[in-house]
């Protein structure tokens, strides 16, 4: 597949620079050594056993979902051939159990692929949270902090709604990133039946089949790559496509997810589902008219669509409040219940 250009790297970034320069640019950024001072990273530098003991001591006995794939999948989690299921099993495990399995698999010529993503730290490793400070974010900010554990596994290209700081604790990680506008060239799987919530690309980015996925060549022309080691972090803007590969037999990463503004609790993906349900099959002339309405009211390409109305008459197009969100929910519930 040839070499891809590297994502821009920064060192010694503080919050002021992060907020003034990196986030507004809307592009991924490698932050070398951002988390190098974490005790978990220090333990990882000693040995796999040392960091496993460290995490095990901070975990609890509450199980989470982990993925287990036969050696034949080569670490690439995905769908079954008929798209009615997956190519791996999903079982419950605790932090300690999964770490034990990862350590036991080391040295195997054909190991089982093991992976657990987005393990909520507050729930499953409550004593760990205070030991992973993130100086680039206000600790009072509403954010989700998660742990990822696995071996040499590969997650398909996907996007996340939130912004993300992905911090490597153990092992090496390779991120391959694509801008949001490469969606048409990534051959995305089902929207409503996904591996982990977000739609994913069906292309094997390590061995793409250009006969089956010819437009992926164009996606590669816009791709960038980041190679991260323990203590390094990657800033991922919202909706950038990213595929992630664990490069070692034991890997761990911590993610800090957050959204700016005052977002609703539902993902806009629900709006996409609703639009597909209500607009699929419309004549092209009507679709063009609805595109005008969406541009005007949702994307506000003409400015504030209700600036001419007094505040009390702006309704759901006015400032978001509990009352307007409740009204929208009521309208949607009635419509969907017909």
Tens digits of per-residue pLDDT, 78-134?
A: 999 999 999 999 999 999 999 999 999 999 999 999 999 999 999 999 999 999 999
Region for 274 from its dihedrals, namely left if φ exceeds 0, alpha if ψ lies in -120 to 50, beta otherwise: alpha
Which pLDDT score, from 0 to 100, does residue 270 have? 83
Distance between alpha carbon 69 and the CA centroid of its chain, in Å? 21
Q: 9-258: CATH homologous superfamily?
A: Cupin (2.60.120.650)
- Over residues 274-296, the mean pLDDT reads 90
CB neighbours (10 Å) of residue 111? 18
DSSP strands (E only) in 206-335: 224-228, 233-236, 241-246, 251-258
- What average pLDDT does this structure show over 65-87? 95
Strands of 94-221, DSSP E: 113-120, 143-150, 154-158, 163-170, 173-178
Rounded distance between C-alpha atoms, residue 5 and residue 22, angstroms: 19
pLDDT at 263 over 70: no
The answer, yes or no, to whether residue 261 has pLDDT greater than 80, is: no
Measure the CA–CA gap between 298 and 312, rounded to whole angstroms.
Answer: 20
Q: What is the pLDDT of residue 332?
A: 79
pLDDT digits (tens, 9 = 90+) for 191-233: 889 999 889 999 999 999 999 999 999 999 999 999 999 999 9
Q: What is the pLDDT of residue 89?
A: 97
**Environment class of residue 176 by beta-carbon count within 10 Å: exposed (0-12), middle (13-18) or buried (19+)?**
buried
pLDDT for 1 equals 56
Identify whether the C-beta of residue 249 lies closer than 8 Å to the C-beta of residue 111: yes
| Pairing verdict, β 143-150 and 251-258 | antiparallel
- Distance CA(311)–CA(124), nearest Å, equals 45
Residue limits of CATH 2.60.120.650 in the chain: 9-258
d(CA 103, CA 42): 18
Give backbone dihedrals phi and psi of 164, rounded to 5 degrees, phi first. Answer: -145, 135
Tokens of 4: 């891809």
Contact 166, 175 (CB under 8 A): yes
Plot region of 197 (φ>0 → left; ψ -120 to 50 → alpha; else → beta): left
CB 116 within 8 A of CB 64: yes
Give the predicted TM-score (pTM) of the model: 0.88
User: Going by C-beta distance under 8 Å and a sequence separation of 6 or more, which residues neighbour residue 173?
Assistant: 166, 227, 228, 229, 244, 245, 246, 247, 251, 253
Q: Residue 306's pLDDT is what?
A: 85
Q: What's the mean per-residue pLDDT of the chain?
A: 92
């Amino acid at each position: 597949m040839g070499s891809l250009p590297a994502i821009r790297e920064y060192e010694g970034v503080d919050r002021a620079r992060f907020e003034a320069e990196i986030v507004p640019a809307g592009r991924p950024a490698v932050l070398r050594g951002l988390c190098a001072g974490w005790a978990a990273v220090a333990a990882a530098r000693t040995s796999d056993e040392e960091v496993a003991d460290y995490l095990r001591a901070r975990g609890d006995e509450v199980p989470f979902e982990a993925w287990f794939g036969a050696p034949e999948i080569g670490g690439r989690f995905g769908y079954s051939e008929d798209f009615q299921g997956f190519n791996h099993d999903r079982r419950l495990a605790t932090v300690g159990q999964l770490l034990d399995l990862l350590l036991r698999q080391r040295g195997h010529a054909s190991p089982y692929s093991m992976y657990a993503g987005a393990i909520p730290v507050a729930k499953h490793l409550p004593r760990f949270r205070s030991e992973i400070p993130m100086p680039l974010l206000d600790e009072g900010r509403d954010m989700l902090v998660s742990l990822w554990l696995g071996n040499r596994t590969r997650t398909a290209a996907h996007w996340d709604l939130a912004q993300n700081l992905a911090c490597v604790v153990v092992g090496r990680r390779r991120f391959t990133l694509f801008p949001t506008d490469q969606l048409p060239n990534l051959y995305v799987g089902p929207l409503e039946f996904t591996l982990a919530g977000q739609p994913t690309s069906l292309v094997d980015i390590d061995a793409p089949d250009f006969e089956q996925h010819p437009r992926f060549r164009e996606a590669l022309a816009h791709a960038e790559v980041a190679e991260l080691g323990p203590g390094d972090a990657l800033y991922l803007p919202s909706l950038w496509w990213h595929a992630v590969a664990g490069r070692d037999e034991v890997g761990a990463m911590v993610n800090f997810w957050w959204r700016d503004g005052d977002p609703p609790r539902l993902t806009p993906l629900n709006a996409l589902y609703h639009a597909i349900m209500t607009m699929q099959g419309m004549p092209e002339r009507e679709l063009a008219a609805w595109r005008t309405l969406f541009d005007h009211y949702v994307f506000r390409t003409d400015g504030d669509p209700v600036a001419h109305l007094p505040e009390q008459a702006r309704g759901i197009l006015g400032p978001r409040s509990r009352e307007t969100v409740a009204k929208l929910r009521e309208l949607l519930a009635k419509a969907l219940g017909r």
